[in-house]
């Protein structure tokens, strides 16, 4: 049974408690916050006078092993609200008190739920917790503390900064070793590290959460955009561009100020409040309404590569994965209700085509239903949810239900992509919407010459182009597909007398559209080759006396190593075909 998800969750949750117990033994003045099990392990947040050092973590891990060896039983007990508050006060744990108070809602006693609060005890240590847990600490056989970080209490940058310790646990040492190996590989593939080494992008303290694309990085991003445009032309999309800032009344009308206000940047111009767009949707609605439409145009597919801004908490920012400024590859598709299911299927096919070009063919689907805070009628939500579900089922695409995680205006399908390290990333999404067409009074002329209300799909394939580049960088370990990579080949002359011939090779490659560089530095050839490998350049052309005399180049490729002398014209024709997408 140990390989089942709920058992693994119990193991990791128990190990988090062992971590907290070890910290309290070594540092009794530390206050406890929260310590949940997460996808790859667990963490615990502590309020400390100073962050934990590597030496502290080593001591904590040693103490945890002692606690495990003690084989302490975990015993559950509970208190009512008043008793729970008294208990955590006696322990001197203010963060636990806040968690209890939030559930009790003492500001409005009439709404106070009649609940008991569960606690788990192991030896001298007690923690407020709903479980699940193992029965004894001795059942923990393989664990490791993996890293530390700072984390604001409850993710709020206005609240105290806590010290977080991450760890992981498995039922066998073999499983733990395999996981730790994946962690080390992930560190090597970290897109922030590779982005610096490959000179793709940078982050500056003057613009937190907003990437600076360097020349090679912009080649990469522009190449991705070229591919995106080609596929969207194939699927009959039109492309538009809408303003980045628009009046607050527009966002009132769309509902964003009610549901997304904290994530929006604002400015006042001529005594009028404007919002920087966090999404492209309202601008898309205005673009649709700029002219009269007929059912004969449907489905009308309108795409936008919109630069958007979201006021993310500084503590949540993470390289290209979590930004305040990014490009969203949005699209809005307008149609009759009878066309909805077929159009959902068409979008799924488009996504699968696009992901395959990057070697991303292992993905799953999540169907997210109506959240508690939402707009629209039950009937509209039911129709939209049914269309999404039936499209997946008729295409034989397995899916899981994610209850209550839909957008505030409609249900959605999320694509969860699994990368080469087995990690899951949410990229593409398909959202059905019968609410915004109503709010913006969208109409079309039907076969009966009368006005009707369209239904629509919001969809993003990459989601954020920037985030997708981060995911792709880590998936490929920086070795992008040949057609996408910023520098496809580097020319390496062995000595200065080969520079002229090397420049002529460069001219021929550039004339053919091959992205090439010349490394004519006064360095040894071995050094230049290692540099090219670090830059993840997939092809190298070496020129020495023999190559110049025979009018050839010596090819070194990532796939095959030293491939010997080759005819340049033949290579150019081959690479031109490989550069097509």
For the chain, the maximum distance between any two Cα atoms, rounded to a whole number of angstroms, is: 93
**pLDDT at 3 (0 to 100):** 42
* 3 state SS for 292-344: CCEHHHCCEEEEEEEEEECCCCHHHCECCCECCEEEEEEEEEEECHHHHHHHH
Count other C-beta atoms under 10 Å from residue 539's C-beta.
Answer: 25
Q: What residues in the chain have per-residue pLDDT under 50?
A: 1-5
Question: Known catalytic residue: 405?
Answer: no
Catalytic hit among 328, 431, 435, 535: 328
pLDDT digits (tens, 9 = 90+) for 32-70: 999 999 988 999 999 999 999 999 999 999 999 999 999
Catalytic hit among 179, 216, 324, 412: 412
Question: Known catalytic residue: 281?
Answer: yes
Name the token pair of 187: 């560190």
Percent helix, percent strand, percent coil in the chain, to nearest 5:
40, 25, 30
Rounded Cα–Cα distance for residues 36 and 18 (Å): 12
Rounded Cα–Cα distance for residues 178 and 268 (Å): 54
Query: For residue 400, which phi and psi values (nearest 5 degrees)?
Result: -120, 155
Q: Note whether 307 and 244 are within 8 A (CB).
A: yes
Q: Note whether 566 and 554 are within 8 A (CB).
A: yes
**pLDDT at 495 (0 to 100):** 92
pTM score, two decimals? 0.83
Question: Known catalytic residue: 498?
Answer: no
Question: Known catalytic residue: 330?
Answer: yes
Count other C-beta atoms under 10 Å from residue 226's C-beta.
Answer: 13
Catalytic hit among 189, 309, 310, 475: 310
**pLDDT at 2 (0 to 100):** 40
**pLDDT at 169 (0 to 100):** 96
**pLDDT at 269 (0 to 100):** 94
Count other C-beta atoms under 10 Å from residue 356's C-beta.
Answer: 10
**pLDDT at 267 (0 to 100):** 93
Catalytic hit among 127, 329, 330, 414: 330
Rounded Cα–Cα distance for residues 33 and 458 (Å): 39
Strand 41-47 and strand 161-170: the pairing is: antiparallel
Name the token pair of 208: 């937190």
Catalytic hit among 332, 370, 459, 528: 332
**pLDDT at 114 (0 to 100):** 61
CA-nearest of 370, 329, 368, 321 to 347 is 329
Q: Note whether 389 and 344 are within 8 A (CB).
A: no
Catalytic hit among 458, 459, 467, 539: 458
Catalytic hit among 13, 96, 127, 281: 281
Rounded Cα–Cα distance for residues 428 and 356 (Å): 13
Question: Known catalytic residue: 458?
Answer: yes
Rounded Cα–Cα distance for residues 514 and 482 (Å): 10
DSSP 3-state of 469: helix
Rounded Cα–Cα distance for residues 300 and 455 (Å): 11
Rounded Cα–Cα distance for residues 246 and 273 (Å): 9
């Amino acid at each position: 049974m140990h390989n089942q998800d709920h058992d693994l969750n119990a193991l990791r949750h128990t190990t988090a408690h062992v971590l907290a117990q070890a910290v309290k033994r070594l540092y009794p003045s530390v206050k406890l916050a929260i310590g949940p099990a997460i996808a790859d392990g667990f963490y615990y947040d502590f309020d400390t006078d100073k962050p934990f050092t590597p030496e502290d973590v080593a001591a904590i891990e040693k103490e945890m092993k002692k606690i495990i060896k003690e084989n302490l039983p975990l015993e559950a007990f509970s208190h009512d609200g008043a008793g729970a508050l008294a208990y955590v006060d006696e322990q001197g744990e203010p963060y636990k008190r806040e968690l209890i108070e939030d559930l009790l809602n003492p500001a409005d006693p009439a709404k106070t739920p009649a609940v008991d609060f569960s606690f788990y005890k192991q030896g001298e240590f007690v923690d407020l917790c709903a479980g699940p847990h193992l029965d004894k600490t001795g059942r923990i056989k393989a664990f490791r503390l993996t890293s530390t970080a700072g984390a604001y209490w409850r993710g709020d940058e206005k609240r105290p900064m806590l010290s977080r310790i991450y760890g992981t646990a498995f039922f066998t040492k073999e499983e733990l070793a395999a996981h730790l190996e994946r962690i080390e590989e992930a560190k090597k593939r970290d897109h922030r590290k590779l982005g610096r080494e490959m000179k793709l992008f940078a982050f500056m303290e003057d613009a937190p959460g907003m990437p600076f694309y360097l020349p090679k990085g912009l080649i990469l991003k522009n190449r991705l955009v070229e591919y995106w445009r080609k596929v969207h032309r194939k699927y009959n999309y039109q492309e538009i561009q809408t303003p980045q800032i628009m009046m607050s009344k527009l966002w009132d009308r769309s509902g964003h100020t009610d549901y997304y206000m904290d994530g929006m940047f604002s400015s006042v111009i001529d005594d009028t409040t404007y919002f920087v767009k966090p999404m492209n949707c309202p601008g898309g609605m205005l673009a649709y309404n700029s002219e009269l439409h007929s059912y004969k145009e449907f489905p009308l597919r309108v795409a936008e590569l919109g630069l958007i801004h979201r006021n993310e908490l500084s503590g949540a920012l993470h390289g290209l994965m979590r930004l305040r400024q990014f490009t969203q590859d949005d699209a809005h598709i307008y149609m009759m209700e009878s066309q909805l299911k077929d159009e959902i299927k068409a979008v799924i096919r488009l996504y699968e085509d696009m992901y395959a070009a990057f070697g991303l063919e292992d993905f799953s689907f999540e169907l997210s239903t109506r959240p508690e805070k939402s707009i629209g009628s039950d009937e509209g939500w039911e129709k939209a949810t049914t269309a999404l579900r039936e499209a997946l089922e008729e295409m034989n695409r397995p899916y899981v239900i994610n209850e209550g995680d839909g957008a505030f205006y409609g249900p959605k399908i999320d694509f969860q992509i699994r990368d080469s390290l087995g990690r899951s990333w949410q990229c593409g999404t398909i959202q059905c919407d019968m609410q915004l067409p109503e709010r913006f009074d969208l109409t079309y002329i039907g076969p009966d010459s009368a006005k009707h209300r369209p239904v629509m799909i919001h969809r993003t394939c990459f989601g954020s182009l920037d985030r997708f580049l981060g995911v792709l960088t880590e998936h490929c370990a920086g070795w992008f597909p040949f057609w996408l990579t910023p520098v496809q080949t580097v020319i390496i002359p062995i000595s200065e007398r080969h520079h002229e011939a090397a420049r002529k090779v460069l001219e021929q490659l550039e004339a053919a559209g091959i992205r090439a560089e010349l490394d004519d530095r006064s360095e040894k050839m071995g050094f230049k080759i290692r540099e090219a490998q670090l830059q993840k350049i997939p092809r190298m052309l070496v020129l020495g006396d023999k190559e110049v005399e025979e009018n050839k180049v010596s090819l070194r490729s990532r796939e095959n190593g030293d491939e010997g002398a080759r005819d340049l014209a033949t290579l150019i024709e081959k690479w031109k075909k490989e550069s097509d997408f």
